[in-house]
Amino acid sequence: MRPRVVWLIITALIFSSGFFIGRYIYPAGEIQYNPLDYVRLDDSGHRQLVFHTFWEAWDQLHRNFIGEIEDKDLFYGAVQGMVRAVDDPYTVFEPPPETKQFEETIQGSFSGIGIEIGVREGAVVVISPLAGSPAELAGVQEGDIIVAVDDEPITGNMGLDDVVQKIRGQKGEPVKITVVRKGADEPLPITVTRDTIAIKSVNLSFDNDIAVIEITNFNGDTAKRFNEAAREVIDRHARGVIVDVRNNPGGFLEAAVEIGSRFIEKGQTIVSERDKDGNSKEYAARGNAVLQDIPTAVIINGGSASASEILAGALLDQRNVPVIGTQSFGKGSVQEFLKLSDGSSLRVTVAKWFTPSGRSINEEGISPTLAVEQDRDTDEDEQLQQAEEELQKIIAGQSG
């Protein structure tokens, strides 16, 4: 990160007469550095970062700040600022407590309100409320833009994880989120009571001879749960399968590849990722494609993101399955989770995802082959009904 010239202004007062009174503090008798000279070579020719500006600011804060200062907070804040400077909402640093919360989340249980959020055009957007979560029951909807938490506005200098931490809290405690919703005349305040969120990531149901497999997340146990559902589909001789990844914000790439392998012939590409140097890595189906010959349809919506888009894109490109619903979210970047020595962590965007045909998922998403809007004012699941109709056509064609 390129340091900026910092002038420390102390005791600034604005009087009613309009005058601005401040005090500048300059280092006396100290070596003056070029602030742009932030990397030097040592005697061996190795690069060294020059931290004179950092320590200068550190010392001046301790000497002059009117309040109490915790060195730990300054340290972690400095690291967070450095990471945030790359200007990617999904590249984040988290101190140890937040890292522990994240690890609990990806294992399938945490305390919160049950929403997944992302960034779209600079705004914090609800990708989806989890099924049956306090957020869903309170009326939070996919596509809501969060503009405040407990009446504190969401500002441009807040990272995505800052917003998450404001929303999370102790079980039983309320939190008010204010959202802007398409079609609403003014922001909507929604109070949600936090609870323990236990995510059941795979749900299986049957409508006559059609199996409906709803995947709500791609967590650590999702592939195992899906394999159990797949065995039941086979045992009950289902004639068709609907994969429902609506409002599924994603999760582990590994889970998406494993589930895709149940539908796609071994060796065929499920997804490819490309790094900043243009290097490409393909993830192929691993075999045991027990659902390969069963007619399949996928349902997506604007809350389908990340691993959901990988699975939908693979089934569309490799099997030409009908994709029902609305455009997916378009979160197609790869984050690597790096645990640091003190228990803190980095999540770093290292690549972007592409479908087997080479289409970018990031910011573009997956387009349905049959667009169906869900009417929120009806109890009828129009997208599911359309998926069943499309499957019945395929099954009838095979029988004929």
Q: Is there a catalytic annotation at residue 280?
A: no
The residue-averaged pLDDT of 133-141 equals 94
> Which residues constitute the domain of residue 300?
199-399
**Residue 131 belongs to domain with CATH number:** 2.30.42.10
Q: Which of 60, 101, 165, 335 is catalytic?
A: 335
**214 and 191 in a common domain:** no
The residue-averaged pLDDT of 153-182 equals 88
**Residue 335 belongs to domain with CATH number:** 3.90.226.10
pLDDT digit string (tens) for 9-64?
222 322 222 333 344 444 444 444 454 456 666 677 776 666 778 888 999 999 99
User: For 35, which DSSP code?
Assistant: T
Q: Is there a catalytic annotation at residue 44?
A: no
- In this prediction the pTM is 0.69
With b meaning 16 or more CB within 10 Å and e meaning fewer, what string describes 349-385?
A: bebbbbbbeebebbeebbbbeeebebeeeeeebebbe
Is the pLDDT score of 328 beyond 50?
yes
Number of domain units in the chain: 3
Q: Which of 128, 201, 306, 386 is catalytic?
A: 306
Q: Where residue 191 falls among pLDDT bands split at 50, 70, 90? A: very high
Percent of the chain at pLDDT above 70?
86
How far is the C-alpha of 262 from the C-alpha of 239, rounded, in Å?
16
Out of 197, 220, 243, a domain closes at 197
Q: Tell me whether residue 75 is in a domain.
A: no
**294 and 368 in a common domain:** yes
The residue-averaged pLDDT of 138-167 equals 89
Q: Which of 111, 328, 331, 333 is catalytic?
A: 331
Q: Is there a catalytic annotation at residue 331?
A: yes
pLDDT digit string (tens) for 255-274?
999 999 999 999 999 999 99
Backbone angles phi, psi at 138, to 5 degrees: -85, -10
**226 and 172 in a common domain:** no
